[in-house]
Amino acid sequence: MTQLALIIDLNVCVGCSACVTSCKEWNTSGPAGPLSDRNPYDADPTGTFFNRVQTFEVGEFPQTETVHFPKSCLHCEDPPCVPVCPTGASYKRKEDGIVLVDYDKCIGCKYCSWACPYGAREIDEQQKVMKKCTLCVDRIYSTTLPEADRRPSCVMACPTSARLFGDIHDPDSVVSRAIRENGGYALMPEWGTQPANHYLPRRKTSITIHKDQLVRADNPLKIDGKLPKPAKQEPTLDDVTSW
């Protein structure tokens, strides 16, 4: 069993929204039709997105940290949005675990969006069908794109590699290792939806250096002290000798 997923590293996400624009660019130009916008260059712009970067401030001043939080469909292993769909337009693919919407079957009743605790689904106001992240299913299985480009466009765009893509059911994959070794967690575990996408927490990177490590304490032959010390006018040791 394969379960494709994104791993989002909150430790390195800088909130640049490159994943948002890149996702929108790819998915609005595809064969499935545009992700419609309303007033895109006017007051109150609004539109359909698969992926958004939100910002949270954690802690109280001055001990605060700004956390940029990219949010898209989590491709739950037990997706609550799928069984409620009356037409079968919402489905979870057996072969790779991607949750998809068949835009030709969707009647736009919005019931699936009510059934998603993460707010990952957005209706397209123009096409009147429910839309959501497809994990760029048209990229990752593409036969025309170069091999290196067969990844979701948000992953391609991320300048800090905060987004990893892979199969979380394969214990040796990059994503499984990232979850295992960096404390990857799922969102709202209380609802038992088992999201496939995981988030890697903020981590403090630090090492401890003691004072005695700054000088060479272990110099048993005392060679360092016996080196010739030329006068200031004389050529330096490096100029005259090859040691």
Which residues in this chain contact other proteins in the complex, by CB under 8 A? Answer: 20, 39, 43-49, 52-60, 66-67, 69, 71, 80, 82-89, 105-111, 113-119, 122-123, 125, 127-129, 185-191, 199, 201-202
Q: What is the CA radius of gyration of the chain?
A: 26
Alpha carbons 118 and 191: distance in angstroms, whole number: 11
Q: CB nearer to other proteins: give 92 or 140.
A: 92
- Looking only at the bridges linking them, the beta strands covering 4-9 and 99-101 are unpaired
Q: CB nearer to other proteins: give 96 or 122.
A: 122
- Looking only at the bridges linking them, the beta strands covering 51-58 and 65-72 are antiparallel
Residue with tokens 């709202």: 188
Q: CB nearer to other proteins: give 30 or 108.
A: 108
Alpha carbons 20 and 182: distance in angstroms, whole number: 25
49 neighbors 166 (Cβ within 8 angstroms): no
Residue 92 DSSP SS3: strand
Least Å distance between CB 68 and other proteins? 9
Least Å distance between CB 25 and other proteins? 16
Q: CB nearer to other proteins: give 3 or 193.
A: 193
For residue 202, the 8-state DSSP code is P
Least Å distance between CB 51 and other proteins? 9
Least Å distance between CB 238 and other proteins? 53
Least Å distance between CB 239 and other proteins? 58
Q: CB nearer to other proteins: give 140 or 163.
A: 163
